[in-house]
Amino acid sequence: MKPRTITLCALVLLMTSAPLFAQKTEVSVRRGKVVAETQTASVNINAGQKAVLKKDANPLVTVDSPLVQDALELHKLIEKEKEQSDLRVDSSFILVGSADKDEVRGALYFEFPNHGPTATNVLTLGYVSIIENFRVYDLAGNLCKVDVEYLDDTTASYSIHLSKEVQPGGHFKVIGVANLEDIPLIPGGAPAYWKEGPLWYFRTGLTMPYCLNYYRFILPKTTILLDTNREAMATDTVDGRVAVTMKDYTGRYSDGRCMISFLYPERDGTTLADIPDKYLGLRSLWDKRNTETFKREMDRIRAGASYTDQSTPLAALLTCLSSIIHKDIDLYSTVKYAEQPPQNIRGYVEQARYWAGVLDLLSTPEWPDNPGNGYVHPTYLCRKGSMICEFIQPMVYENGKWYVHDTKSRQPKQSSDTTPQDVAAARTQGYLCDWEVAGPYVQKGKKGTELFDIPFGPELPDVNVPWQPILVERHGEHPAYVNLDEALYGFDQAVAYLRTEIASDRQKPARLDIYTDDGVKAWLNGKLIHAVNVSRGILDEPDKVDVTLNEGANDLMLKVTDDVWAWGAIVRVQPAIAVQPVSGK
C-alpha cells in the first residue's frame, strides 16, 4: 500500500484559524501506514501509533493507547531489573488497568514461549475467554493482526500475527488490550474488578513461579484509595485520577496476587463516612482479642516455642503454623483435616512456611462451643500491613477438636442487582425470600451424595448451630435464589442447611416447588416431607411436594448437598392443585 501523506506546511498553519491548531493536532492510524509532514520534519506512523503534531516542533510518535504506552514504560523497568538483579526470572507480566464509569480497560503484557520446532510469527492462544474489541500490540507499539475462531459461547482461539518471527525456545512478547469488567482473565476465573458493600476492588496476579510482575491501576475520578495488599512503589495522577503502581516477584511459590480497595463516590454516592469500621480502628473486642493473641503467639512460635492446642479454631490454626515453622511433620499430620499422601506432606509444609511468614489473621466469627461434627468455621487471613482479606482458612470441628482444612483463595462476591422492591415482588409470586443458613458441614473422605444421610448439627439435639441470614438473588427466571456456593466460600463435597418460615392464614393444602443444586432433604414443622439424593443443577422443572400448612408460622428446613461447582436452592409456595373427580365415579 502506498503511504498516504499528510502535509502540514507553514502556509496551512498560518492560514488556519488559531483555535484549531493553536495547541496541537493528533493523527492516529488504525490500518496501513501514514507519513506525517510538518514544517520541521516528517515521520512514519504505523497502525496502532499516534503522531502529535505541534507548530514549530518535530512530530512526536507514540502508541495510540495510553495504557499500552504505560505498559511499554514498565517493560523498560522490567528489563532493567532483570539485567541488574541476580534473581531467577523465568517470565514477566504487566497489567495497566484503567477504570471509569463506562468501562474497565486493561493493557496486559505477556510472554509466551515458542514450543514449536520452527520459527514463526504467529502466536496462537488456543483456549481463552471471548474478548470483545481485542487489540494486540508488539513492543514497538505496532498494532498486530488478530484472527479469531469462536469455540463456544464463552471461549475462543486467537491467532496473533507479529512482524518478526520468534525462534524455537524464544518468547512471543505482546501487549493485549481488553475490557476487564465483563470477563475473567481466564475462562471460568474470577473477575479482575468488582464491588462488595461500599468498597470496590481491583485484583490481578499470575500464579507462575519466578515471574516478575508490575501492576498499575488508574482509578476513576473522585476515587478514595483505601488499601493495597502490597506496598506501592509509586503513586501519581493521570488527568486528575489516582494511579497506583506496584510490583512483585512470585518466586518459588507463585505469590503473584496484587489487590487494591477504594471508594467510588461518583458511581455509587459513597463518601469518607462509608469507610468500613475496621479501617478506622473500630474493630470488635472479639476480633481485637483474637488478632492480638495470634500475633503474640506467632512471635513466641517464631522465637522457638512450640504450640499444641486444638481446643478452638484459633488454637488449631496456631498449632498448624507451629508445625509448619518448626517443620514438625507429625504435628502437621495430626492437625490437618484432609488426609494427604505421606510423600507430599514435606512439599506442602515447605510451601506453607513461606505463607506463614507473609499472612496475618484478619478476623473470624465467634465460634460455637459444640457445633457438632463436620462443622466448618472460617478464619480470614490478610497480608501483613494490609486489611484486604486474601484467603479463607476453614477449620473443621470433630469430636471436641478443631482441624485445619485446605486453604481457600478468597473469591469476589458477584454484585447482585436485586433490590428490596424485587424481593417484595418475588414474595407476591410465592417465592420464599427470608432464609438463614448453617454450614458448611463436611466429613473426611465423603462426597456430597455420601453426606446425604449423615446427620449434622441442625438435625441433632443439644448442638449449638450458628445460623446466619442469607440474601436471595435472581437466577434465570427466578427472582429468589439462595447462592450457597458464594456464601459458603466455594466448598465442594459438603452440605448446608437452610431454614425459613411459611406464614398461612389458615390450615390449608399447598404445594412446594423446590429447585436445588444438588440433592435435598426437606422438613416441614419437623417432619421429613421430601428427599432426593442426586447430583444436578437448577432444573427447569422443580421437585413438587404436596403439603398441609398449619395456621400461623410453619417451619421449613432444607438440607442441600453439593458435589462441585454451583450450589443453591429456590423454593416457591403454590396453591394446591385440586383433584378433579373422575366422571362416573
pTM for the whole structure: 0.85
**Confidence at residue 542, expressed as pLDDT on a 0 to 100 scale:** 96
Look up residue 417 and give its three cell numbers.
Answer: 442487582
Low-confidence residues in the chain, pLDDT < 70:
1-33, 36-45, 47-62, 181-190, 342-343, 414-416, 577-585
User: Does residue 518 have a cis peptide bond before it, meaning omega lies within 30 degrees of 0?
Assistant: yes
**Confidence at residue 580, expressed as pLDDT on a 0 to 100 scale:** 47
**Confidence at residue 360, expressed as pLDDT on a 0 to 100 scale:** 96
Is residue 301 within 8 Å of 321, Cβ to Cβ? Answer: yes
Q: How far is CA 324 from CA 306, 318, 345, 351, 399, in A?
A: 11, 10, 10, 9, 24
Is residue 277 within 8 Å of 258, Cβ to Cβ? Answer: no
Is residue 108 within 8 Å of 94, Cβ to Cβ? Answer: yes
Is residue 316 within 8 Å of 402, Cβ to Cβ? Answer: yes
Q: If DSSP codes are grouped into helix, strand and coil, which group holds residue 448?
A: helix
**Confidence at residue 192, expressed as pLDDT on a 0 to 100 scale:** 77
**Confidence at residue 206, expressed as pLDDT on a 0 to 100 scale:** 73
Q: How far is CA 561 from CA 496, 533, 535, in A?
A: 7, 8, 8
Closest CA to 229 of 251, 191, 256: 256
Interior/surface letters 103-116, b for 16+ CB within 10 angstroms, e for the rest: ebbbbbbbbbebee
**Confidence at residue 208, expressed as pLDDT on a 0 to 100 scale:** 85
